[in-house]
Amino acid sequence: MSATVYKNYINGTWVASSSGETFENRNPANHDDVIGVFQRSNEADVKAAVDAAAAAYMKWRLVPAPKRGEILYRVAARLTANKEQFSRDMTREMGKILIETRGDVQEAIDMTYYMAGEGRRLFGMTTPSELPNKFNMTVRQPVGVCGFITPWNFPMAIPSWKMMPALICGNTIVIKPATDTPMSVVNLMKACEEEGVPPGVVNMVTGPGGSTGEALMNDDRVRIVSFTGSTEVGRRVSTACAPKFKHLCLEMGGKNVIIIMNDADLELAVEGVLWGAFGTSGQRCTATSRVIMHKDVAAKFTSMLVERAKNIKVGNGLEDSVQMGPVVNQSQVDTVLKYIEIGKADGARLECGGQRLTGGAYDKGYFIQPTVFSGVTRNMRIWKEEIFGPVLGMGTFNTFEEAIELANDTAYGLSASIYTRDVNKAYVAMRDVYTGIFYVNAPTIGAETHLPFGGTKETGNGHREAATAALDVFSEWKSIYVDFSGTIQRAQIDNAD
C-alpha cells in the first residue's frame, strides 16, 4: 500500500510544493511503518504562505477578538473530539508512549480553550491622567505575520502554544514543523480548516530547517519569529532576525536538576526522578538530566533508583504495557550513545543501561536502555551539556548551600526541583535557583498552560510562552491619550505648580 501524501496548507487549500520534492516520515519504533509523505518546501512555497498570511492579516486583525475566540472554542472542541486519533498519530511519528501523547494533545486543547477565553479579556489598562479632562488607556495591537519554527518532542503542544495566543491577538501565521513530526501539525491545520479559521490566517509549510526554516525567518514580512529548539539553531535564528529588529521569542535547551535533601521522602523522589528523567525518553526540554543528592542519602537513593530504572519496559509506545518509547531518529541515537561514551571516559560510574537495544522488534527502531550514571561532577561534559535522551547523571553535595550553587552551575535555566520536607529550605531554593520554572516535591516536568513557560540564561531570550505572558509576545502595547479639555495641555509642563 502506498503511503498517503500530505500537502502544504496555504491560503485555505492543500497544495504541493513547487519543488516537486517530498520526504517520508517513518515510525521511530518501527521503520516499516510509513506515516506519510510530506512536502519538501522551497523559498517559493514559503513566499506563497507569507503572501497568504499578509493578505489575511488585513481582515483578521479587525475581526472582534471575542469572535476570534468563538472560532478557537470550536477548534478546541474539534481537537477534543479527535484526541485519541491525534495521540496515536503522534506516538507513531515521534515514539513517546500513548499516555504522554494524549497529554500533548490535551495541552493543545487546554491552550486553545485558554486563549479562546482571552478573546473576551485581552485586558488593557485605564489610568488617571496628570492633566484635567484627559483620559488615558492602553490597548494591545497585533503585530502582523508570525513565523513559527517548532521541534519534534511536543509536536502539537508547542505549535499550539504559539498559534493560539498569536491568533487571539489578531495575527496571522505560517508554521514550519520539525521534519520528524509534520503529521501532528497537519492535524492541527485540519482542525482549524474544519472549524472555520478563515483562509490565509493559518498556513503550514513542511520541510527542512536549513531551507524552509531559513526562508521563513528571512522573509521581511514576517514580523515575529517564535522558535523552539536547540540553543545552537536558536542562536542562528537570533542573528538572522536582529538586523530587521524582528520580534523574537526563543525557547531552547535545558540541563534541569533535582535536588534530593536528606529529609526527602525518598520513595516519592524515586517516582519523580524516573518520570522526569525517562518520560518521553528524556527528550523533553524540561527533562531531569541531573540529580544531586545529600551525601547522607546518596547511596540509598541511588540503589533505589537504579533498581527501578533497570526494570523500565522499553518498546513501541502504542503498546499499553510499554513505559518508555524509542528516541526519535538515528541522529538522536548517535548523540545519546556518544554522550554515554563521554560519561564513561570522563570517569562517571555507569549504574545501569548504556546500550542500544537490539534483537527482534528492537532492530526496527531507535531504542536505548534507560541509563544512569553516578559520581557525576561539575567538570564532566555529561554534567554540562544537554543530551536529550534517556541518560541521567547523579552527583552529591554536603550542604544545602552547595546544592543551590551546583543547581545553578549550568549555562541553561529552564526547570529545577527540590525534594524536601523542610519548608524553609524549599522557600530558599524557590528564591535562589535561577530558572524560569521550579517545582517542590515534584519532578522538573509538568507545566500547566495557564502559567508562564520559559527559561533564564541560554534557555531563552527573556520571553515566556503560555498564560497571559504569551500575549506580550504576540501583541504590542499602544498607549492612548484622549484630551477632552478643548485646550492645549502640555504634559509635565502645564501641571507644574
Establish whether 352 is a catalytic residue: no
Give least dist CB 410 to ligand NAD, A.
Answer: 13
Give least dist CB 388 to ligand NAD, A.
Answer: 5
HSE-up of residue 197 (Cα within 13 Å, Cβ side): 35
Residue listed under C-alpha cell 533498581 = 307
**Residue number with CB closer to ligand NAD (197 or 233):** 233
Q: Does 109 bind ligand NAD (CB under 6 A)?
A: no
d(CA 84, CA 125): 41
* Candidate list 93, 100, 107, 251, residue with the active-site label: 251
* Candidate list 285, 386, 458, 465, residue with the active-site label: 285
Q: Does 326 bind ligand NAD (CB under 6 A)?
A: no
User: Residue from 196, 210, 347, 462 that binds ligand NAD (CB under 6 A)?
Assistant: 210
Which strand ranges, in their side-by-side order, compose the sheet holding 256-260? 349-352, 371-374, 391-397, 288-294, 256-260, 415-419, 437-440
Q: Does 197 bind ligand NAD (CB under 6 A)?
A: no
Give least dist CB 149 to ligand NAD, A.
Answer: 5
Q: Does 51 bind ligand NAD (CB under 6 A)?
A: no
**Residue number with CB closer to ligand NAD (119 or 213):** 213
User: Residue from 214, 219, 351, 458 that binds ligand NAD (CB under 6 A)?
Assistant: 214
Q: Does 152 bind ligand NAD (CB under 6 A)?
A: yes
Q: Does 28 bind ligand NAD (CB under 6 A)?
A: no
**Residue number with CB closer to ligand NAD (296 or 448):** 448
CA gyration radius, the chain: 24
Give least dist CB 451 to ligand NAD, A.
Answer: 13
Q: Which stretch binds ligand NAD (CB under 6 A): 6-14, 117-125, 151-159, 294-302?
A: 151-159
Q: Does 46 bind ligand NAD (CB under 6 A)?
A: no
Question: Residue 319: is it exposed, middle or buried by C-beta count within 10 angstroms (0-12/13-18/19+)?
Answer: middle
- The answer to whether 194 and 217 have CB atoms below 8 angstroms apart is no
**Residue number with CB closer to ligand NAD (178 or 292):** 178
Establish whether 21 is a catalytic residue: no
- Considering only CA atoms, which of 314, 312, 204, 254 is closest in space to residue 447? 254
Please, which of residues 408-427 interact with ligand NAD by CB under 6 A? 414
Which residues are catalytic, by number?
251, 285
